[in-house]
């Protein structure tokens, strides 16, 4: 028996012992965290057409709005944050009242170029301060829903591209599939590194895959699981060399930072530039959970995001893909106004969303939350539901009705 076949047999036995499809596919498949690759799905060749593409970046942990748009002329800000605040003289001006802190020069440069729009005061009623619940709520676009649900991007795929079976229409680059892409029996391409797609190739001994979670049912029988694994094997054999060639031949126009986010955005830029065919890409970046002071807790995640985002936009600039690429960045909640006893900031209700792109009209949207009128927890009060921003992307970027995706009619702001 070939080693790869023996590996499949061992994995089926392992799945019987663990009784969980999630762990089985996580350990077996080189395509990390792919929820479903069914036999019969074909992989089309990359297309040269420049269709509109969306890149969704989830900033995990809760981005502090007041550490991005710093109100440098507001005494309340400085009184509320005696050690957490940024000096007025160090700010990179956004308007007469506010500016980016000096460690975010990339965002400031994109702002000056008119490539960045910031939506202020984003949130939803009765905000959950749990990271897990809030991620699910944002991913499903169901406020106050804390159970498993189909993601809004998955619903977008069903609505706009329901007759196209290609798994790569939705692509997540990372080790755990984004909640927004999760859906029962929906094929999604998901990997962390292009060279990881041949882990179960017949000419390789294989090993423990670098995988993440994948939704599924624990009551599935091993023959069905094995069929899905064989479908994954077939597609990975076809797709792996293609992706490695695309990423290896891509010559970035700028230098990317040597970080996980920088590497993943470089991969996405290569795929977009090559006309790979994905309509929505997603990636996650962490950790913005700044409960305490210190470089790691306060500045590392924002600085890595700033450098990687700037490199990604400058890499695409000047290509035919640039004007057909929109980037949407969001976090699951914001932070409170006052610093805590550890010199950090705790979970808050209102946050920011970022939109970046070649066709974007840069600027500010939404209403700046008051630093005086706070909620009972000391949080900034949101004034725009995050689902309205999603609805604007659906309507103004993809030219489709948002109602079937958001599952209700919303007031859509003009953002793009």
User: What are 336-388's pLDDT values in tens digits?
Assistant: 999 999 989 999 999 999 999 999 989 999 999 999 999 999 999 999 999 99
The per-residue pLDDT for 2 is 39
Mean per-residue pLDDT over the chain, rounded? 81
Tell me if 212 is assigned to some domain: no
**10-22 residue pLDDT tens:** 333 433 333 333 3
The per-residue pLDDT for 237 is 59
Tell me if 13 is assigned to some domain: no
Tell me if 93 is assigned to some domain: yes
Tell me if 279 is assigned to some domain: yes
Q: How many domains does the chain have?
A: 1
Residue 331 or residue 213, greater confidence: 331
Tell me if 2 is assigned to some domain: no
Q: What is the band of 143 on the pLDDT scale with cuts at 50, 70, 90?
A: confident
**30-85 residue pLDDT tens:** 333 543 333 333 334 444 457 999 999 999 999 999 999 999 999 999 999 999 99
The per-residue pLDDT for 193 is 86
Tell me if 210 is assigned to some domain: no
- Closest among 88, 72, 129 to 332, alpha carbons compared: 129
- Closest among 222, 241, 186 to 28, alpha carbons compared: 222
Tell me if 78 is assigned to some domain: yes
Tell me if 287 is assigned to some domain: yes
Q: Which residues on neighbouring strands pair with residue 364, listed in sequence order?
A: 118
pTM attached to this predicted model: 0.82
3-state secondary structure of 56: strand
User: For position 373, which CATH number holds?
Assistant: 3.40.720.10
Q: What residues contact 351, with CB distance under 8 A and at least 6 apart?
A: 62, 63, 65, 122, 123, 330, 331, 333, 334, 335, 382
**289-343 residue pLDDT tens:** 988 877 666 899 999 999 999 999 999 997 889 999 999 999 999 999 999 999 8
Q: What residues contact 46, with CB distance under 8 A and at least 6 apart?
A: 242, 246, 274, 275, 276, 277
Determine the structural domain holding residue 398 and report its residue range: 47-195+251-406
How large a percentage of the chain has pLDDT more than 70? 76
Q: What is the band of 24 on the pLDDT scale with cuts at 50, 70, 90?
A: very low
């Amino acid at each position: 028996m070939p080693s790869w076949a023996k590996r499949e047999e061992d994995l089926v036995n392992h799945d019987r012992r663990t009784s969980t499809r999630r762990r089985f596919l996580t350990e077996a498949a080189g395509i990390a965290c792919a929820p479903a690759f069914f036999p019969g799905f074909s992989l089309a060749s990359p297309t040269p057409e420049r269709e509109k593409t969306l890149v969704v970046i989830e900033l995990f942990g809760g981005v502090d709005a007041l550490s991005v748009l710093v109100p440098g002329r507001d005494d309340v800000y400085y009184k509320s944050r005696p050690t957490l605040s940024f000096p007025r003289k160090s700010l990179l001006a956004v308007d007469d009242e506010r500016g980016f802190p000096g460690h975010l020069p990339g965002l400031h440069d994109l702002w000056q170029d008119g490539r960045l729009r910031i939506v202020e005061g984003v949130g939803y009623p009765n905000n959950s301060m749990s990271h897990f619940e809030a991620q699910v709520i944002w991913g499903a676009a169901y406020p106050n829903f804390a159970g498993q649900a189909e993601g809004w991007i998955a619903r977008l795929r069903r609505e706009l591209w329901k007759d196209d079976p290609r798994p790569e229409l939705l692509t997540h680059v990372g080790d755990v599939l984004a909640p927004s892409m999760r859906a029962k029996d929906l094929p999604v391409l998901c990997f962390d590194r292009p060279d990881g797609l041949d882990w179960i190739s017949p000419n390789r001994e294989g090993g423990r895959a670098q995988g993440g979670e994948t939704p599924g049912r624990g009551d599935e029988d091993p023959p069905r699981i094995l069929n899905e694994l064989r479908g994954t094997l077939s597609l990975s054999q076809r797709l792996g060399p293609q992706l490695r060639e695309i990423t290896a031949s891509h010559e970035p126009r700028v230098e990317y930072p040597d970080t996980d986010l920088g590497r993943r955005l470089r991969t996405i830029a290569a795929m977009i530039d090559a006309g790979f065919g994905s309509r929505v890409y997603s990636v996650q970046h962490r950790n913005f959970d700044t409960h305490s002071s210190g470089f790691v807790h306060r500045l590392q995640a924002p600085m890595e995001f700033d450098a990687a985002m700037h490199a990604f936009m400058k890499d695409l600039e000047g290509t035919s893909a640039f004007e057909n690429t929109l980037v949407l960045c969001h976090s699951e909640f914001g932070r409170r106004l006052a610093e805590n006893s550890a010199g950090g900031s705790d979970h808050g209700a209102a946050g920011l969303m970022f939109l970046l792109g070649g066709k974007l009209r840069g600027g500010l949207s939404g209403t700046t939350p008051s630093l005086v009128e706070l909620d009972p927890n000391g949080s900034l009060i949101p004034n725009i539901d995050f689902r309205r921003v999603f609805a604007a992307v659906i309507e103004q970027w993809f030219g489709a009705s948002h109602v079937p995706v958001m599952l209700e009619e919303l007031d859509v702001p003009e953002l793009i």
